Chain A
Amino acid sequence: MMRFIPPRLRKPAAIALAGVLFAAAWLVRGGPLWWISILAVIMAAARAVYLYRMGGQDTDEGALAGSRADERQKLLSLRSRALACNLAVIAAFIGLTAAIAVKGAWWWPFLVILGVAGFGYLLGLSNYGVAEEGTPDEVDAGHQARSPVSS
């Protein structure tokens, strides 16, 4: 679906969609705090506009916001997200430990975060290729390896 959206609009659109979903959740919840949904929409719209404007800048941040990152900028983004995930896991672990210590009933969301993070890590290893068991090459099979350039 993202292919049909111009690159510069992709991140702002994702932020706007997230904001709408969050606002809808507050509306469905109802009660006296329904006005938070309006606040969520306003904040998401402001963030989307900010990202759109940033996407036009000739900087690394602009390239990332405008979804036109090159290999170095993608690596930069990947490392930053990995750091963010590590920090989230550490925070979740601390939260879980604290919840257990004080006998709080709010321990399970931390466990869910840790579980999802662990599952995501294993999924990543699987998808992005931990060394696959292949057939033994010619040397292992007892044959002499031949260079492709040798006659």
Chain B
Amino acid sequence: MAPEESRASLRASDADREQAIDVLKTAFARDRLARAEFGARVGQALVARTYADLAAATGSIPGPLIAGQPPGMSARVRQQRTRREMSHGELAQALGVSRQTVILIESGRYLPSLSLAFTIARFFGLTVDKMFGPDEEKTSPR
């Protein structure tokens, strides 16, 4: 039996299931999964008994999309917004900017001013550094 096959048949732990769900959450936040598919896959991950079952639940999601990986600064705004199930318009209204500006920030085509960055970070309960700072894995020394 190949090592991959033997690992696939091993029993998965709760931590493994949580990790798989985090991967699905990240994929959902980045619009890689539709809501219905996200729900179905989370259900699949929750009842997974083996690594093979977990692999099936997270199948077709790109490899680098590991849980806990901070997305780009613009993607973080989208991630926080979708996590709160807000529309572009609702977030724009809460921040006091236009819907177009929120869309452009999320697509990385507009960098908000320091003042707006503070407003956005405060709204999501994060620091400006966590909201708009560079990705940690790109800046940390290897």
Which among B97, B100, B115, B116 has the highest number of chain A CB atoms within 10 Å? B100
> Distance in Å from the Cβ of A58 to the closest Cβ of chain B?
6
> Which 3 A/B pairs are nearest by Cβ-Cβ distance?
A70-B97, A72-B101, A70-B98
> Distance in Å from the Cβ of A74 to the closest Cβ of chain B?
10
Indicate whether B141 reaches chain A with its CB closer than 8 angstroms. Answer: no
Q: How far is the CA of A73 from the CA of B100 in the complex (A)?
A: 9
Q: How far is the CA of A63 from the CA of B102 in the complex (A)?
A: 14
Residues of B within 8 A of A (CB): 96-101, 104, 110, 112-113, 115-116
> Distance in Å from the Cβ of A106 to the closest Cβ of chain B?
44
Q: How far is the CA of A71 from the CA of B116 in the complex (A)?
A: 9
Is A72 a contact partner of B110 (Cβ separation < 8 A)?
yes
Q: Find chain A residues with CB under 8 A from B96 CB.
A: 70
Dominant secondary structure at the A interface: helix
> Distance in Å from the Cβ of B25 to the closest Cβ of chain A?
30
> Distance in Å from the Cβ of B6 to the closest Cβ of chain A?
54
> Distance in Å from the Cβ of B119 to the closest Cβ of chain A?
10
Indicate whether A86 reaches chain B with its CB closer than 8 angstroms. Answer: no
> Distance in Å from the Cβ of B61 to the closest Cβ of chain A?
33
Q: Find chain B residues with CB under 8 A from A73 CB.
A: 98, 100-101
Is A60 a contact partner of B116 (Cβ separation < 8 A)?
no
| Chain A interface size, under 10 / 10 to 19 / 20 to 34 / 35 or more | under 10
Known: A59-B100, A70-B101, A71-B101. 15 other contacts (CB 8 A): A58-B98, A58-B99, A60-B98, A60-B100, A63-B100, A70-B96, A70-B98, A71-B97, A71-B112, A71-B115, A72-B100, A72-B101, A72-B110, A73-B98, A73-B100
Question: Chain B: which residue is nearest A70 at the CB level?
Answer: B97
> Distance in Å from the Cβ of B65 to the closest Cβ of chain A?
30
Question: Chain A: which residue is nearest B99 at the CB level?
Answer: A58
Write out, one digit per residue, whether chain A residues 74-95 have a CB within 8 A of any chain B CB (1) or not (0): 0000000000000000000000
Q: How far is the CA of A63 from the CA of B101 in the complex (A)?
A: 11
Write out, one digit per residue, whether chain A residues 16-51 have a CB within 8 A of any chain B CB (1) or not (0): 000000000000000000000000000000000000
**A59, A63, A69, A71: the one within 8 Å of B113 (CB):** A71
Q: Find chain B residues with CB under 8 A from A63 CB.
A: 98, 100
Q: How far is the CA of A58 from the CA of B101 in the complex (A)?
A: 12
> Distance in Å from the Cβ of B110 to the closest Cβ of chain A?
6
